[in-house]
């Protein structure tokens, strides 16, 4: 009987000792592991969809080519995405050419609907947010920074524009679009900029305007265009890099080529417009990086990129 009691007491001491040791070794790393493995509510909050992602002035050229359009770009902090839009029988399809279009890949399914869902998630409705007046954007780390959505209209611009405007209604109805009205610009979670065949005059006539125009970067001071450029019409101005500059990224850039870059960038900035050069060299990698570096150093605002991972680490 005594030996049995001794064994029981000895076992109790061992259990107590083990528990004490376990508690003593509850290091910060152990606590992190425990909270993560139990999916503790202490680690969850409503707007963490883009947690720890820093937005960057990178434009995802032909974004619909990504493994997952829109979301891949967001995962790298890319601040601007581009969708090529085709109007076919009353539906806006997304793709580089007609042969690439499918019934499932529409402007609504790839961009509008996901953006509505994401931004709604960043704007939870509860007692704590009852007095919030300005909607958050997609970025958890920079909720006031708008995502730029370029709509490259491939079909007739005048015919297609009304369909694009209608397609944006789910974003518009919830106040998620940057809008110019009554002489005032209100920045929303998404700034939509029309490019490609987007028609200038109908866009100028929009009141209110929540679909803007990608201005011609090399022609901002061309009086023949009969347009007063500013950021309320064109928050962005773009041009073909090869035509406007032409430096391959191999060897030294000439002073004339650098002057072209700085002139066009300065023209845009004088109107409060951001500058973008598209179709920059993609290969060799060293040449691509040299061109990117030159453009950034010369003040270009958006880095046009196909390799989003490389651009995000540049």
The C-alpha angle 130, 132, 138, rounded to 5 degrees, equals: 120
Has this prediction a pTM greater than 0.75?
yes
pLDDT of the residue at 3: 53
Report the DSSP pairing between strands 91-94 and 78-88.
Answer: antiparallel
CB 312 within 8 A of CB 287: no
Q: Which of 239, 110, 245, 237 is nearest to 167 (CA)?
A: 110
Report CA dihedral (6, 9, 11, 13) to the nearest 10 degrees: -130
pLDDT of the residue at 256: 97
Q: Which residue positions in the chain have pLDDT lower than 70? A: 1-25
pLDDT of the residue at 144: 95
pLDDT of the residue at 5: 43
Q: Which of 267, 208, 216 is nearest to 232 (CA)?
A: 208
- Structure confidence by residue, pLDDT tens digits, 257-303: 999 999 999 999 999 999 999 999 999 999 999 999 999 999 999 99
Residue 237 tokens, joined: 């101005």
Tell me which residue has tokens 């425990």.
Answer: 34
pLDDT of the residue at 230: 96
């Amino acid at each position: 009987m005594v030996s049995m009691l001794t064994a029981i007491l000895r076992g109790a001491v061992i259990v107590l000792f083990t528990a004490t040791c376990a508690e003593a070794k509850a290091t910060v790393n152990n606590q992190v592991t425990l909270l993560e493995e139990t999916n503790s509510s202490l680690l969850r909050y409503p707007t963490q969809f883009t947690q720890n992602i820093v937005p960057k002035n990178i434009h995802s050229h032909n974004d619909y080519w990504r493994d997952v359009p829109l979301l891949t770009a967001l995962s790298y902090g890319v601040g601007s995405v581009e969708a090529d839009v085709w109007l076919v029988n009353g539906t806006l399809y997304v793709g580089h050419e007609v042969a690439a279009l499918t019934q499932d890949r529409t402007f609504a399914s790839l961009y509008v609907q996901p953006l509505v869902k994401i931004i709604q998630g960043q704007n939870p409705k509860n007692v704590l947010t009852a007095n919030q007046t300005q909607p958050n954007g997609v970025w958890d780390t920079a909720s006031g920074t708008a995502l730029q959505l370029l709509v490259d209209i491939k079909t007739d611009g005048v015919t297609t524009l009304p369909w694009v405007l209608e397609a944006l209604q789910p974003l518009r109805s919830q106040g998620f679009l940057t809008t110019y009205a009554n002489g005032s610009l209100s920045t929303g979670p998404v700034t939509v900029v029309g490019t490609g065949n987007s028609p200038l005059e109908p866009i100028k006539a929009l009141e209110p305007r929540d679909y803007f125009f990608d201005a011609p970067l090399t022609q901002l001071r061309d009086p023949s265009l009969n347009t007063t450029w500013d950021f309320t019409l064109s928050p962005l101005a773009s041009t073909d890099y090869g035509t406007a500059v032409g430096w391959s990224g191999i060897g030294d850039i000439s002073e004339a080529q650098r002057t072209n870059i700085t002139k066009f960038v300065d023209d845009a900035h004088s109107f409060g417009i951001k500058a973008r050069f598209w179709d920059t060299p993609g290969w060799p990698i060293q040449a691509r990086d040299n061109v990117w570096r030159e453009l950034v150093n010369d003040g270009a605002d958006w880095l046009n990129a196909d390799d989003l991972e490389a651009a995000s680490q540049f």
